[in-house]
Amino acid sequence: MTSTSLTPTRADAVIIDYNGVLGRQPTSAMWTRLADLAEWPSGQVASFQDAFWAPREAYDSGGLSDLAYWAKVLGHHPGAWWLRTLRTADTAMWIRTDDRVLDILRRARATGLPMVLLSNAPAYLSNVLDATGWRRELMADALYSARLGLCKPHPAAYEHALTATGITDPGRVLFIDDREDNCQAAAELGLRTLHYTGQPADLAEQLLSVGPASVRPTAAPRGTSR
Ligand SMILES: [Mg+2]
């Protein structure tokens, strides 16, 4: 057996999740700081996280304003200054990227592989992510739940993203996400899937190991016979 014979044909486009793949998870210190800013009882970060996540899907899907979301988390309406403080700290938890993943995506993009971001994110964070250099450099398009009005794993989220790739056959598109339920929903629509578990080598294998059919237009120097 040779490595060439084992190499699967690479997908023609990628739909990729943000947090947990490109974006790094918040640190414990970040959660503690946000809980402190929310004036949560000291040492009760776990219960703060429960309150944080309970209304998050509604927030991510655009159904709650910043004020309405934080009112649900806190149990009362924060003032304008407090709301901005909370939103800024919340946003800061989700904007750190993994350089190893970005490097692989840059190399994949350089081969001409189209990539579309599909992220569950509230409106403010969506705008921040959309303004980053990596978003504009790497992504042909970026779809955010707050703008779509629905979250993964709703099937329509994947259908919008597939349309954005410009490819009609889902079997030619690879969906990457760190959540298994999101991958399962994508697979049910016929997309190829990679359940990302934090190993950049898995991404490299899928995105950089081009098969014979797709390597010629991008990798062979012009004027050579190779
Ligand atoms: Mg994720």
Centre of ligand 1 to C-alpha 154, Å, is 14
Least confident of 19-23, 110-114, 201-205, 210-214: 210-214
**Confidence band for 209, pLDDT divided at 50, 70 and 90:** confident
Centre of ligand 1 to C-alpha 219, Å, is 31
- The 10 Å Cβ neighbour count of residue 195 is 17
Centre of ligand 1 to C-alpha 178, Å, is 5
Residues with CB under 5 Å of ion ligand 1 are: 17, 19-20, 178
Centre of ligand 1 to C-alpha 21, Å, is 6
Q: Quick: pLDDT tens for 31-87.
A: 999 999 999 999 999 999 999 999 999 999 999 999 999 999 999 999 999 999 999
3-state SS of the chain is CCHHHHCCCCCCEEEECCECCCECCCCHHHHHHHHHHCCCCCCCHHHHHHHHHCCHHHHHCCCCCHHHHHHHHHCCCCCHHHHHHHHHHHHHCCCCECHHHHHHHHHHHHCCCCEEEEECCCHHHHHHHHCCHHHHHHCCEEEEHHHHCCCCCCHHHHHHHHHHHCCCCHHHEEEEECCHHHHHHHHHCCCEEEECCCCHHHHHHHHHCCCHHHHHHHHCCCCCCC
What pTM, to 2 d.p., does this model score? 0.88
pLDDT over 90, % of the chain: 88
In words, the CATH class of domain 3-25+97-213 is: alpha beta
- pLDDT, residue 40, reads 98
User: d(Cα 167, Cα 76) in Å, to the nearest integer?
Assistant: 46
Centre of ligand 1 to C-alpha 166, Å, is 23
Mean pLDDT along residues 102-107: 98
**Confidence band for 210, pLDDT divided at 50, 70 and 90:** low
Which carries the bigger pLDDT value, residue 224 or residue 120?
A: 120
Extract the tokens encoding 114: 């189209």
Measured distance between the N- and C-terminal CA atoms of the chain, rounded to whole angstroms: 22
Centre of ligand 1 to C-alpha 157, Å, is 14
Centre of ligand 1 to C-alpha 2, Å, is 34
Extract the tokens encoding 155: 């099937």
Q: Is the pLDDT of residue 219 over 80?
A: no
- pLDDT, residue 8, reads 60
User: d(Cα 88, Cα 69) in Å, to the nearest integer?
Assistant: 14
Centre of ligand 1 to C-alpha 1, Å, is 36
Mean pLDDT of the chain: 91
Centre of ligand 1 to C-alpha 200, Å, is 15
Centre of ligand 1 to C-alpha 86, Å, is 22
**Confidence band for 218, pLDDT divided at 50, 70 and 90:** very low
Maximum Cα–Cα distance across the chain: 69
